[in-house]
Amino acid sequence: MAKSRSRKIKKHYFLYAGTLVCLLIVIYFLWIFAHVFWWKYQNPHETRFMAQRLAEIRKKKPNAALKQHWVDYDKISPSFKRAVIAAEDDRFMNHHGFDWEGISHAFEKNLQKGETVAGGSTISQQLAKNLFLSPERSFVRKGKEAVITLMIETIWSKKRILEVYLNVAEWGDGIFGAEAAARHYYDIPATAVNDHQAAQLAVMLPNPRYYEKNFSPYLERHAQRVQTRMRYSVLPDK
């Protein structure tokens, strides 16, 4: 009898714990959904990634502030938009958040090298991570990223996705967004960035804090390749 009763107690405990975990997960994603819906119309002032970077910077400089100034989609040059699409997600207009061809290619390349040397994340996936998640690599984080990406792709237009991404992407130590990047590197507004400048900024995105100080000849050649491909980048108009 005692053993039977103990098993029932354990069963009820695990059932309760499981229900509580499920409830917390639902609440978490409802909280994210509310933010995604709100940011369809309102601009986010800060992302999770920006907050983390600011906290890191303030460990050394307590009064530090991020360089970031929001500009609307029409205030970012077409060259800038085309370059980012060409460098980061050339099938941006043709997928619904996940570039399965790109993911497959990245998987094969990583398998050949025996380590992670390429990623298949789309602009939408990168935006989901920047807005809500940490930069850690784990299956749990990738699962969250996938759900948030679906929310963003379902609720926002492609134009809004690109607009927000260009305003929150990191372009150097404490430098976020197209406007801050253009002014930091070229002392011009984002609306005035030309093809070559845009390509140089676009190729920095995978590792901006490193490339800010180490813009190598290899990266310049990559920028030239991106500039060549920019003519094929299709921009969203809605």
Task: Tell whether the model's pLDDT for residue 137 goes beyond 50.
Answer: yes
Task: Tell whether the model's pLDDT for residue 17 goes beyond 70.
Answer: yes
The pLDDT assigned to 118 comes to: 47
Give the whole-number percent of the chain exceeding pLDDT 90.
77
Of the two residues 103 and 26, the one the predictor is more confident about is: 26
Class of residue 226 by CB neighbours under 10 A (exposed 0-12, middle 13-18, buried 19+) = buried
Residues 6+ apart with CB under 8 A from 176: 50, 53, 66, 67, 68, 167, 168, 169, 170
Confidence of residue 193 (pLDDT cuts 50, 70, 90): very high
H helix and E strand count, the chain: 11, 2
The pLDDT assigned to 165 comes to: 98
Domain range list for the chain:
1-38, 45-232
Beta bridge partners of 67: 175
158, 42, 176: which is closest to 93 by C-alpha? 158
* 177 Rama class: left (phi>0) / alpha (psi -120 to 50) / beta: left
Residues 6+ apart with CB under 8 A from 125: 97, 98, 145, 146, 149
Dist CA 162 CA 167 (whole Å) = 9
Tokens of 81: 């938009």
The pLDDT assigned to 237 comes to: 86
Would you call 82 helix, strand, or coil by DSSP? Answer: helix
Count of alpha carbons within 13 angstroms of residue 194, beta-carbon side: 4
pLDDT tens-digit readout, 105-131 = 655 665 555 544 446 799 999 999 999
Tokens of 122: 């789309």
Cα-to-chain-centroid distance, residue 193: 22
Q: Tell me which architecture the domain covering 45-232 has in CATH.
A: Orthogonal Bundle (1.10)
